[in-house]
C-alpha cells in the first residue's frame, strides 16, 4: 500500500496516524507540493483534482482523506473504527463531514493563511474556528470521543487541524474538553505525531 504524502498536511497525517494505530504498513511517497509536483503528470492521472493524499492499494486508487480513512478502517479496523450498523455509521459520518467542512474552512483555512500564505479571509476563518471549537468543547465535555464510546475514524479525521490550530492563530485555551480529547488521542497505543503538534 502506497500513500502519496506531504509531511505538513493534516489530511495526509490522518492516514499515517490511522495506519500507525492499526499497525498497517504503508509506503510513504513524499510529494513536492511547493514545487507543484501534485499538479503535473503522473500525479494528475492519480487524482485529477491534483490533491493529496492519494492511496494506492492492489490496483485501488483513492483520493480524499476521509474516503481513505473509511477504506483503511473497513479493511483493517473492523467495526471498532468504523461500525457497520446504520446509527453508528451515520454518527461517525456526521463528524467526517465536520472535518471536510467546518474544520477545513475554520482552523484549516486559518493555518493555510498564517503558515503557507494562502489568501483567505483570516477573520472569517478564525471566527468559524472559534464557533466550531465552542460546539466541540460542549460536546466533548459530555463525551470522551466524538462519535461513540470509543475512538473511531471520526476522532482521527477531526483531530489534526484542531491540534495544530495554533499555527493559524487559533488557541485552545478556552476549550479544556477539546484539549483533554486531543490528549486522549495522543495516549492511544502506537500514536504518532505530526510536525507542529
pLDDT in tens, 136-160: 999 999 999 999 999 999 999 999 9
* Residue spans of the chain under pLDDT 70: none
Half-sphere exposure of 53 (CA within 13 A, CB side): 30
Rounded Cα–Cα distance for residues 48 and 37 (Å): 13
CATH topology of domain 83-186: Glutathione S-transferase Yfyf (Class Pi); Chain A, domain 2 (1.20.1050)
* Omega before 148 within 30 of 0, i.e. cis: no
CB neighbourhood size of 85 (10 A): 9
Domain boundaries, the chain: 2-78, 83-186
Report the pLDDT value the prediction gives residue 125, as an integer from 0 to 100.
97
Report which of 84, 79, 72 is spatially closest to residue 157, judged by C-alpha positions: 72
Report the pLDDT value the prediction gives residue 49, as an integer from 0 to 100.
76
Options 3.30.230.10, 3.40.50.10490, 3.40.50.1370, 3.40.30.10; which CATH number does 2-78 get? 3.40.30.10
Report the pLDDT value the prediction gives residue 37, as an integer from 0 to 100.
73
Cell of 78: 473492523
Amino acid at each position: 500500500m502506497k500513500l502519496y504524502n506531504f509531511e505538513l498536511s493534516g489530511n495526509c497525517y490522518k492516514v499515517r496516524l490511522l495506519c500507525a494505530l492499526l499497525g498497517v504498513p504503508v509506503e510513504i511517497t513524499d510529494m513536492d507540493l511547493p514545487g507543484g509536483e501534485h499538479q503535473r503528470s503522473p500525479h494528475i492521472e492519480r487524482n485529477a483534482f491534483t490533491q493529496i493524499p492519494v492511496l494506492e492499494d492492489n490496483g485501488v486508487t483513492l483520493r480524499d482523506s476521509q474516503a481513505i480513512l473509511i477504506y483503511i478502517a473497513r479493511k483493517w479496523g473492523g467495526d471498532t473504527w468504523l461500525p457497520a450498523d446504520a446509527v453508528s455509521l451515520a454518527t461517525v459520518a456526521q463528524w467526517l463531514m465536520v472535518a471536510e467542512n467546518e474544520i477545513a474552512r475554520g482552523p484549516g483555512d486559518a493555518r493555510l493563511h498564517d503558515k503557507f500564505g494562502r489568501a483567505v479571509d483570516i477573520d472569517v476563518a478564525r471566527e468559524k474556528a472559534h464557533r466550531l471549537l465552542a460546539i466541540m468543547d460542549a460536546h466533548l465535555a459530555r463525551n470522551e470521543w466524538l462519535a461513540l464510546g470509543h475512538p473511531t475514524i471520526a476522532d482521527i479525521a477531526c483531530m489534526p487541524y484542531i491540534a495544530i490550530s495554533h499555527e493559524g492563530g487559533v488557541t485552545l485555551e478556552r476549550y479544556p474538553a477539546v484539549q483533554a480529547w486531543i490528549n486522549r488521542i495522543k495516549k492511544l497505543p502506537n500514536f504518532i505525531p505530526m510536525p507542529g503538534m
